[in-house]
Every structure is written in structure tokens, then in C-alpha cells.
Amino acid sequence: MKANAEILDVPRASAPAVAARRGWPIQVLLHNLVAGLVVLAVWQVATWLVRSVFFPSPLQVVRAMADLWINGDVTGNSLLTHIRWSLQRLLAGFSMGVVLGVPLGLVMGLYKPLYTGTRAALEPFRFIPPIAWIPLTIVLLSGFSRYVFLIWLGAFFPIFVATLVGVPRVELIHKNVAKVHGAGRWYILTRVVIPSVLPDILGGMRVGMGTAWMTIVAAEMSGGETTGLGRMMVNYAELLRIPEIVVGMILIGVLGFLMNEILLRIEKRVFRWRWEVSL
Amino acid sequence: MIEVDVSQRFGDLVVLDRLRFSIGANEFLCLLGRSGCGKTTVANLMAGLLPCSEGSVTIDGVPVDPRRHELAFVFQEPSLWPWRTVRNNIRIGLEIKRVPPHEIDRRVSEMIELVGLEGFEDYYPYQISGGMKQRVAIARAFAVDADLILMDEPFAALDAQTRTSMQAEVLRIWEKRKTTVVFVTHNLEEAVYLAERIILLTEKPTRIKANLEVDLTRPRDFADPRFVALRKRLGELIGTW
């Protein structure tokens, strides 16, 4: 190949090579295992130090988790039911956040006057934490719709803002390339603007996913339905059964982590063309 | 036949002052001038990226319009779409003009071979060097059957050696594809090496200082006395603004 002399020392991450780098290497798993054991050890030591009936040991929590898994909770619902319901509400609210946040962000980003004209009226809403909406939603909404609304609030704003901010950052030169060849507005929107903004959108989605997940727990704790991880935790709190509460916390943390990982994987896949690594 | 007859002002600033020249079919024309003399503005006007404040640029009598005419532009800065591979960057112009898919594939393969990037079709812009990126941009420009290709100092950001080899490359591709090219530069040697005709521009308000034909046989030799003489002449003309 004539061009050989010109190649910089860059990793030749062609499409086949990237696909082969799938899965977690053994070293990373081992390191994480060690870190996990350290956390457990610290926990156990803390249990001995605190010596309170309200501070569960790792063993108690493990037993509680096994019990919950096999027998379900005091209300007769299985663990899986709670998980399923929390996730369903999350997905519903989150997808609404995406469906509304992305187009609105694009429109406001493309038509500056629309954004500046509505900013003072609409932006303050961004700063009201979803949790502050709970009292209002208790009286106005019920059940599934209440949760979905609260989750949507958590997801919408990060996604909307990320999209909005990404649009002006689309490079003019990329648009000019399309313009010179005679592209119309639609082509430029779909083939230049959206691919350019996609990294920002996905970043916003990860943040939105995080706040949405935190919101669901608070929302479920505030009453309403009988299912959901937050609901389960409140039930056990009323009974002063702490190990089960910790089980709920652990599950919430692990599920949130897994969802973040999924989005990260998607990001890495879709953005093979980027030099930087996403965190 | 391309006719240019423009004046351009931005507010009170007169950038171009009644610039008039014409370009023949398949001609390789250089617009030569100091930095800041408005030659990029001329290129943008000719490409339809900038509206004329006064006058017009016409191709065969029709005002230039990216939607109707087949235009291409090789920018000075890297202009490849980072989310697309080399192959998919080259096909942009063909895609927009709705060329049938099998024809697109054929032309893209042809261009990849022509610019010497075989094996790199599926690489992303971040994986290739600056010279290679410009080769992709050139391939993208020549892939369409252009009425006019504009190049705005495409090699300015490259190192000297890459620049020299790219100059030869561009000529080779132009001779193969036979298109009208307007090449903007501030580099005298580059202009004399490449152009069939050189239009020398003054500083702002920009007018045409000279319109010279370059009557040297190809391939041109930088050391040839006639080359040097022409280059000297241009140097004198530029020196006496």
C-alpha cells in the first residue's frame, strides 16, 4: 500500500478489531472482585464496631435476600415483582423523556429565537427537583401515571438540555460540505446535525437515567401502589426490619449500575469513530 | 463556461471590488493572493455558500446554485464527517444528488484507487493522517461529475513534503477526471506548478492585479528557468501592491 509511510502510530481499530474486543478482560474482573471483598470486610468491621441491633451484618443481609428471593415479602409479592414494577415505571417515564426531550432540544437548538423567547418562562422548571413535585402528584395523579410523570421529570431535563446545547456545536464546515453538494434542510438535519449531536444526547440520556432511577425510589416511597422496590423498603421500614431495607438498597444500586453499563456499551458501540473514551 | 462578475461588501467593508473573469471548461485556474485578500470569499461565492451582494457567478449563463449544479469544495481545514468511514465520506456528494447505489459504489471504488487509499476504506477519519484526510476530501470532490471544483488552500495545513506530493496528486487526478478547478492559494510556487492560468488578486478592496497564462509543459520543474522566471515575475507583481 502506497500510503503506508503516512500512517501515524494509531491503533488500527478497524471494525472487525473493535468487535473482537468484547467482554470484560479477566484482570478487570479480578480487581473488582478484590475491591468488592474489601467493601465487605469494611462492612463487617463496621458491624462489630457499631454493635446496634439496627445495623445489619453482611450475613444478615444475605440471609434476608435469600429469604425474600425464595418466599417473597410480607405482602406476598416476590422480589421479582417489585423489580419488574420499578423497572417498568422507569422505562415508561424514561422513554417519554427521550421522546419529548430530543425533538424539543433539536427544535429549540435549531431555532434560537424560540429558545430565548421561552427560556425565562420554562427554564425555572428545570430547577425544581422531581421530589418536590411529589406532594402535588399525590393529590393530582394516582398510581402508574404518578410515577411515570415523576420519572419523566427526572429524565426529561438532562436529555433536553444536552440536546439543546449540542446543536449549536455542530461544526459549520460539516454542514457546508452538505450544502455545497446541494443538500436540503432535511438532509442536513438527519445526516449532519443528528449524527453530530448523538454523543451529547446519549450523554444526557445517561444522566437522565440516573436521576430518573433515583426519582422512582423516592416516588415509590411516598405511597401509591403496593409494588416496587421503594415501596418494599418502606414496608420493611415500618416493621423496623433493617436487613430487608438494605437488600432493597443493594438491588437499587446494582440495577442502576447495570442500566448505566448498558447505556455505556451502546455508546461505545455507536461511537467507534471517536478518539476519546467515554466514562 | 463560468463567468464571474462580483462585488462583495460586508456592511461598510468592501471586500471585492468589481471582480470579473471567466473560466473555460476543464481549466485549472489559480486564484493567487496574500492572506486576507478575500480569495476565500471569492471561492465561497463561486460555490454558492455565500450570497453575492452585487453581481453574479454564472455557469453557462445560469446563476450558480448548489442544487442545480454539481459543485464540490475542498476546504483548508479537515472537513471529513468523523462519524463516517473513508468510503462513506467519499460518497456524500453522490448520495445527495441521488445517484443509484451501484453507481455510487463503483465511483467510490474508482476514487479510492485513484487517490491511493486502498485498504483504508473502512477506517475512520481519526485513524488517518492529515494528508490522507485531504486525499479523502479530494476523492469526495472528484467523485461527482462536477461542473466546478473549488479548492481553498487545501494543502496549507500539511507539512512541506506531503504538500509537494499532494500537488502532483491533484494534477494527476485532474488530468484523469477532467474537471474545471479553481485553486486558491497564497503560495507562488504552488500556483506556478499547478495552474494553467493564474489570477493575481490585490489586497482589500480586492481587484484583479494580473491574469496570466502559464505556458509551461507538464510535468513542471521547479528548477526550470522559465518556471523561476514566472515565479519571479509574480513575486514582483505581488511586492508592488
The DSSP-derived string for A90-120 is: HHHHHHHHHHHHHHHHHHHHH-HHHHHHHHH
The shortest C-alpha distance from A263 to chain B (Å) reads 19
Q: Is residue A196 situated within a structural domain?
A: yes
Q: What is the pLDDT of residues B70-121, one digit of tens each?
A: 999 999 998 999 999 999 999 999 999 999 999 999 999 999 999 999 999 9
Q: Is residue A183 situated within a structural domain?
A: yes
Q: Residue B57: which domain range?
A: 2-69+147-239
Q: Is the dihedral of CA A204, A205, A210, A213 positive or negative?
A: positive
**SS3 assignment, position B16:** strand
Same domain, B22 and B52: yes
How confident is residue A6, by pLDDT bands cut at 50, 70 and 90? low
Q: Is the pLDDT of residue A63 over 80?
A: yes
The crossing angle, in degrees rounded to 10, of helices B101-115 and B130-143 is 140
Q: Is residue A189 situated within a structural domain?
A: yes
Q: Looking at the partner chain, which of A174, A182, A271 has a beta carbon nearest the beta carbon of B67? A: A182
**Which residue out of B83, B89, B98, B104 would a mutagenesis test of the A interface target, given it has the greatest number of A Cβ atoms within 10 Å?**
B83
**Element of type H or E holding B231:** helix B225-239
Average pLDDT over residues B152-168: 91
Q: Is the pLDDT of residue A3 over 60?
A: no
Q: Looking at the partner chain, which of B66, B132, B162 has a beta carbon nearest the beta carbon of A180? A: B66
The shortest C-alpha distance from B236 to chain A (Å) reads 35
Closest by CA to B43, choosing from B197, B237, B215, B181, is: B181
Same domain, B151 and B58: yes
Average pLDDT over residues B24-33: 93
Q: Is residue A27 situated within a structural domain?
A: no
Same domain, B30 and B131: no
C-beta of residue A271 within 8 angstroms of C-beta of residue A278: yes
**Residues whose CB falls within 8 Å of the CB of residue B93, separated by 6 or more in sequence, listed in order:** A181, B70, B72, B140, B141, B143, B144
- Cβ atoms within 10 Å of B200's Cβ, excluding its own: 20
Q: Is residue B40 situated within a structural domain?
A: yes
Asked if B116 lies within 8 A of A3 by C-beta distance, the reply is: yes
Same domain, B101 and B166: no
How confident is residue A2, by pLDDT bands cut at 50, 70 and 90? very low
How confident is residue A277, by pLDDT bands cut at 50, 70 and 90? very low
Average pLDDT over residues A34-58: 92
Q: Is residue A134 situated within a structural domain?
A: yes
Tell me the pairing of strands B13-23 and B71-74: unpaired
Asked if B92 lies within 8 A of A10 by C-beta distance, the reply is: no
Lowest pLDDT segment from A45-49, A74-78, A222-226, B226-230: A222-226
Give the pLDDT score at B90.
97
Same domain, B98 and B198: no
Give the pLDDT score at A16.
46
How confident is residue A23, by pLDDT bands cut at 50, 70 and 90? low
Q: Is residue B107 situated within a structural domain?
A: yes
Same domain, B215 and B154: yes
Same domain, B91 and B152: no
Phi (first) and psi of residue B211, to 5 degrees: -135, 95
Same domain, B64 and B154: yes
Burial class (CB within 10 angstroms; exposed 0-12, middle 13-18, buried 19+) of B165:
middle
Could you tell me the CATH number of the domain that includes residue A167?
A: 1.10.3720.10
Q: Is residue A13 situated within a structural domain?
A: no
Tell me the pairing of strands B28-32 and B197-201: parallel
Separation CA B157–CA B155 (nearest Å) = 6
Give yes or no for B73 touching A (CB within 8 A): yes
Burial class (CB within 10 angstroms; exposed 0-12, middle 13-18, buried 19+) of A63:
middle
Q: Is the pLDDT of residue A8 over 60?
A: no
Same domain, B112 and B13: no
Instruction: Give chain B's domain count.
Output: 2
Average pLDDT over residues A192-206: 93
Give the single-character DSSP code of A12: -
Q: Is residue B152 situated within a structural domain?
A: yes
Same domain, B199 and B216: yes
What is the share, in percent, of chain A residues with pLDDT greater than 70? 90
How confident is residue A115, by pLDDT bands cut at 50, 70 and 90? confident
Give the pLDDT score at A223.
74
A214, A216, A221, A226: CA torsion to nearest 10? -150
**SS3 assignment, position A38:** helix
**SS3 assignment, position B90:** helix
Same domain, B166 and B222: yes
The CA radius of gyration of chain A, in Å to the nearest whole number, is 24
Give yes or no for A181 touching B (CB within 8 A): yes
Q: Is residue A50 situated within a structural domain?
A: no
Q: Is residue B76 situated within a structural domain?
A: no
Sheet holding B71-74, edge to edge: B71-74, B148-152, B181-185, B28-32, B197-201, B208-213
**Residues whose CB falls within 8 Å of the CB of residue B128, separated by 6 or more in sequence, listed in order:** A7, B86, B120, B136
Q: Is residue B114 situated within a structural domain?
A: yes
Residue scoring higher pLDDT (A216 or A19): A216
Q: Residue A133: which domain range?
A: 55-270
Specify the pTM: 0.83
Give the pLDDT score at A218.
86
How confident is residue A121, by pLDDT bands cut at 50, 70 and 90? confident
Closest by CA to B28, choosing from B197, B234, B151, is: B197
Same domain, B153 and B169: yes
Separation CA A215–CA A221 (nearest Å) = 10
Instruction: Give chain A's domain count.
Output: 1
Separation CA B56–CA B43 (nearest Å) = 13
Q: What is the pLDDT of residues A228-237, one digit of tens each?
A: 898 899 989 8
Q: Is residue A248 situated within a structural domain?
A: yes
The residue out of B122, B144, B166 marking a domain boundary is B144
Average pLDDT over residues A163-175: 94
Give the single-character DSSP code of A3: G
